[in-house]
């Protein structure tokens, strides 16, 4: 009778809800065998679920006494190597703990079920074919996303009654992140459970998309045909737009073509087509090592990190932020200047083009209308229009500081002003239609608006006071 009972249990089909109930019980009891007994589930099935998640091993297996302390130190911000030294384990063991790797019979089992030795790499998979592609629960994706240790800490602190703002401060996250996490991933019957929350987040993140060139069709045929007559991927991409302007289906980025050639998993073009590429290489060759950045201009830049503190705290007037707003197809532009202390706006007319020489001449002419004490410095981004920054500094005796790449908040006043200017110059407008008088009229309107940050004074009033007191 017992053998019959065992047989029916081993072939029992479990639903996703039952699997979730097991992980809730596992979070509460901390032991797969106890959770299986409480729910009446098959012990072997529960161990398999836990093993694939990288959570639990065989019953009775000793746990390293320093493991919990290691994770506590990591959550406190200690580096992996320092935490490993503190609890007395080898750095390789600490690295495995961080990655959710468990050890079984001399093998290292990854969270996604793949197994292998230390030197041989991944040699097999312990997961069945139907689940071998599931993402690992503990695999770090990006620092933007909450990790499993962070979710465990949210659960622990919430259980003590800590407010969400305190949890956010402890994790270095926004309070809205914690609020949204608890609201989205809590269950009515069990509350917030970190492993269940991690599984839900991983499932939501997956958005598989098929490559345009992975299936037969007119686009793939066109690309193959042109590759065989030695066209480059970029030539193919650009010509598609010209030959088929009214067919959006016949569009492909040159990078997509390269991916189809070099990455078989995302590809679709036959391997022999690679011979059509001029390099003849079987893989992409990066132009520079990761993390490197070429010098932007011939003349060395002075970065914003070297800007004096009196400029940073807006204590001293006469320091400006600048940028370009561009018109339709980037063919026309207006240079915008904002004084950091008074928020006073000046617009620079750029007739014809916005090359480095044109922008330099326009800025020099505009700044020359100011008294010397209001010509302190200029902060700009690393746009090509400032390539002649050295000659601008020589002509105006103003230092030029450059923002870090992709950091528009370092010119916050100017970015805000550019947003206001779009009320007058909408995106896609041909800016050559506006002359110097038009720009002066717009600047006067902006400078006549009362500003909350100025105590409801206007920029024009603040600048007038500066001119009268000097």
Buried b (16+ CB within 10 A) or exposed e, 244-275: eeeeeebebeeebbebbbbeeeebbbeeebbe
CA distance 201 to 268: 30
* Beta carbons within 8 Å of 280's beta carbon, 6+ residues apart: 274
Return the H-helix or E-strand segment holding 260: helix 254-262
Give the model's pLDDT for residue 119: 44
First to last CA, the chain: 102
Token pair 């904002």 is found at 338
Nearest to 323 by CA among 395, 403, 245: 403
What is the pTM (predicted TM-score) of this model? 0.43
> 346 is written with which tokens?
């000046």
Give the model's pLDDT for residue 110: 64
Give DSSP secondary structure letters for 427-460.
TT--GGG--HHHHHHHHHHHHTS--GGGTT--HH
Give the model's pLDDT for residue 410: 92
Query: Domain residues of the chain, as ranges?
Result: 148-205, 212-276, 304-468
CA distance 311 to 319: 7
Token pair 């003590």 is found at 160
Q: Would you call 133 helix, strand, or coil by DSSP?
A: coil
Q: How many residues does the chain have?
A: 470
Give the model's pLDDT for residue 418: 93
Give the model's pLDDT for residue 58: 46
Helices (H) and strands (E) in the chain, counts: 20, 11
Tens of each residue's pLDDT in the chain, 470 residues: 433 344 444 467 788 788 878 877 776 776 777 788 888 888 888 877 776 665 644 444 445 667 777 878 877 778 888 888 888 888 888 888 877 776 655 566 665 555 555 444 444 433 333 333 334 555 666 777 888 889 989 999 998 889 999 999 999 899 999 999 999 888 888 889 888 888 888 777 766 667 788 778 899 889 888 888 878 888 899 899 999 999 988 999 888 888 777 664 445 565 545 566 666 665 666 555 444 556 778 888 999 999 988 898 888 899 999 999 999 888 899 999 999 999 999 999 998 899 999 999 999 999 999 999 899 999 999 999 999 999 999 999 999 999 988 888 999 999 999 999 998 999 888 999 999 999 999 999 999 999 888 989 999 999 998 888 76
CA distances 370 to 60, 314, 387, Å, are: 80, 18, 23
CA distances 108 to 92, 357, 447, Å, are: 12, 62, 67
Return the H-helix or E-strand segment holding 24: helix 16-29
Residue ranges of the alpha helices (H) in 172-250? 175-185, 194-205, 218-228, 233-243
Superfamily designation of domain 304-468: Ribonuclease H-like superfamily/Ribonuclease H (3.30.420.10)
CA distance 451 to 187: 47
- 403 phi-psi bin (left φ>0, alpha ψ -120 to 50, beta other): beta
With 0-12 / 13-18 / 19 or more C-beta atoms within 10 angstroms meaning exposed / middle / buried, residue 85 is: middle
CA distance 292 to 408: 21
């Amino acid at each position: 009778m017992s053998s019959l009972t065992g047989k029916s249990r081993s072939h029992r089909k479990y639903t996703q809800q039952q699997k979730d109930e097991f992980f809730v019980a596992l979070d509460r009891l901390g032991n797969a065998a106890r959770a299986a007994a409480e729910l009446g589930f098959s012990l072997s099935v529960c161990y398999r679920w836990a093993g694939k998640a990288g959570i639990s091993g065989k019953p009775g297996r000793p746990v390293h006494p320093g493991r919990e302390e290691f994770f506590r130190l990591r959550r406190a911000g200690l580096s992996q190597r320092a935490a490993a030294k503190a609890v007395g384990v080898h750095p390789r063991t600490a690295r495995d703990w961080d990655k959710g790797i468990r050890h079984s019979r001399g093998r290292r089992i990854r969270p996604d079920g793949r197994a292998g030795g230390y030197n041989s790499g991944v040699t097999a998979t312990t997961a069945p074919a139907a689940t071998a592609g599931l993402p690992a629960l503990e695999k770090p994706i990006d620092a933007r996303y909450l990790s499993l240790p962070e979710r465990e800490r949210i659960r622990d602190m919430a259980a003590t009654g800590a407010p969400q703002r305190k949890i956010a401060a402890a994790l270095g996250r926004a309070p809205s992140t914690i609020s949204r996490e608890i609201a989205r991933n809590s269950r009515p019957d069990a509350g917030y459970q970190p492993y269940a929350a991690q599984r839900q987040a991983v499932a939501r993140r997956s958005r598989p998309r098929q490559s345009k060139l992975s299936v037969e069709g007119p686009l793939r045929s066109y690309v193959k045909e042109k590759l065989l007559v030695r066209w480059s991927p970029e030539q193919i991409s650009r010509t598609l737009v010209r030959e088929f302007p009214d067919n959006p289906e016949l569009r492909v980025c040159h990078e997509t073509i390269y991916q189809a050639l070099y990455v078989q998993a995302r590809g679709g073009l036959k391997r022999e087509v690679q011979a059509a590429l001029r390099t003849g290489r079987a893989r992409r060759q990066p132009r520079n090592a990761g993390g490197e950045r070429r010098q932007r201009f011939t003349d060395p830049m002075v970065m914003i990190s070297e800007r004096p503190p009196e400029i940073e705290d807006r204590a001293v007037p006469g320091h400006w932020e600048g940028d370009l707003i561009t018109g339709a197809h980037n063919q026309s532009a207006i240079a915008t200047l904002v004084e950091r202390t008074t928020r006073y706006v000046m617009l620079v007319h750029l007739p014809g083009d916005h090359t480095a020489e044109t922008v330099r001449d326009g800025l020099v002419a505009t700044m020359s209308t100011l008294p010397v004490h209001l010509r302190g410095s200029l902060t700009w981004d690393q746009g090509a229009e400032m390539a002649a920054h050295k000659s601008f500094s020589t002509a105006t005796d103003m230092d030029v500081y450059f923002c870090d790449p992709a950091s528009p908040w370092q010119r916050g006043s100017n970015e805000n002003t550019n947003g206001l200017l779009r009320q007058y110059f909408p995106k896609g407008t041909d800016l050559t239609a506006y002359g110097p008088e038009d720009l002066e009229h717009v600047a006067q309107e902006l400078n006549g608006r009362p500003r909350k940050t100025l105590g409801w004074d206007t920029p024009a009033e603040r600048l007038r006071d500066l001119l009268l007191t000097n």
